[in-house]
Amino acid sequence: MSIEFAWPWLFAALPLPLLALLLPHAPNVAPVTLRFPFYAALRDNLQTHSSQRSRLRLALAITAWLLLVLAAARPQMIGESMHLPVSGRSLMLAVDISGSMQNEDMQVRGRQLSRLTAVKVVAGDFIEQRKGDRIGLILFGDEAYLQAPLTFDRATVRTLLDEAQIGLAGKQTAIGDTIGLAIKRLRKEPASNRVLILLTDGTNTAGNVDPLKAADLAVREDVRIYTIGIGSGEIQVQTPFGLRRVATGDLDEASLRAIAEKTGGRYFRARDTAQLAQIYDLLDRIEPVSEDQQTWRPVNELYFWPLGSALLLSVLIALAAAYRGRITTTANTETSHA
pLDDT tens per residue across span 50-99: 566 677 777 888 898 899 999 999 999 887 776 555 556 788 999 999 88
Which residues lie closer than 8 Å to 15 by C-beta, 6 or more apart? none
pLDDT of 115 > 90? The answer is no
* Eight-state DSSP code of residue 273: H
Secondary structure of residue 271 in the 3-state scheme: coil
Average pLDDT over every residue of 126-151: 88
pLDDT for the residue 47: 52
- For residue 277, pLDDT over 80 is answered with no
Residue boundaries of the structural domains of the chain: 2-20+39-79+299-337, 85-294
Q: Of 31-40, 61-70, 112-121, which one has max mean pLDDT?
A: 61-70
pTM above 0.75, yes or no: no
Q: Whose CA is closest to 275, among 239, 232, 325, 238?
A: 232
pLDDT of residue 116: 87
Look at residue 240 and give its three-state secondary structure: coil
Q: What is the DSSP letter of 172?
A: S
Give me the chain's average pLDDT, please.
Answer: 78
Q: How many residues does the chain have?
A: 338
Residues ≥6 apart with Cβ < 8 Å to 59: none
pLDDT at 181 over 90: yes
198-232, pLDDT tens digit by residue?
Answer: 998 888 888 889 999 999 999 999 999 999 888 76
What CATH fold (topology level) applies to the domain 85-294?
A: Rossmann fold (3.40.50)
Q: List, for residues 246-267, the tens digit of each pLDDT value.
A: 444 577 889 999 999 999 988 8
Higher pLDDT, 82 or 129: 129
Q: What is the DSSP string of 79-102?
A: ---EEEEE---EEEEEEE-SGGGG
Does the structure show a pLDDT above 80 at 155? yes
Give the span between the Cα atoms of 289 and 285, in whole angstroms: 9
Residue 105: band (very low, low, confident or very high) from pLDDT cuts 50, 70, 90: confident
Do 105 and 235 form a contact (C-beta atoms < 8 A)?
Answer: yes
Which position has the higher pLDDT, 264 or 275? 264
- pLDDT reading at 164 higher than 70: yes
pLDDT for 270: 79
The string of DSSP letters for 18-60 reads GGGGGSPPPPP-PPP----TTHHHHHHHHHHHHHHHHHHHHHH
Dihedral over Cα of 97, 103, 104, 109: its sign: negative
Cβ pair 231, 275 in contact under 8 A? no
CA 164: distance to chain centroid?
Answer: 17
CA distances from 167 to 100, 139, 146, 172, 299 (A): 9, 10, 15, 9, 41
Instruction: Find out whether 211 and 176 touch, Cβ atoms under 8 Å.
Output: yes
pLDDT tens per residue, range 18-27: 876 676 766 6
Angle between helices 211-220 and 253-263 (to 10 degrees): 10
d(CA 3, CA 246): 67
Res 36: pLDDT = 45
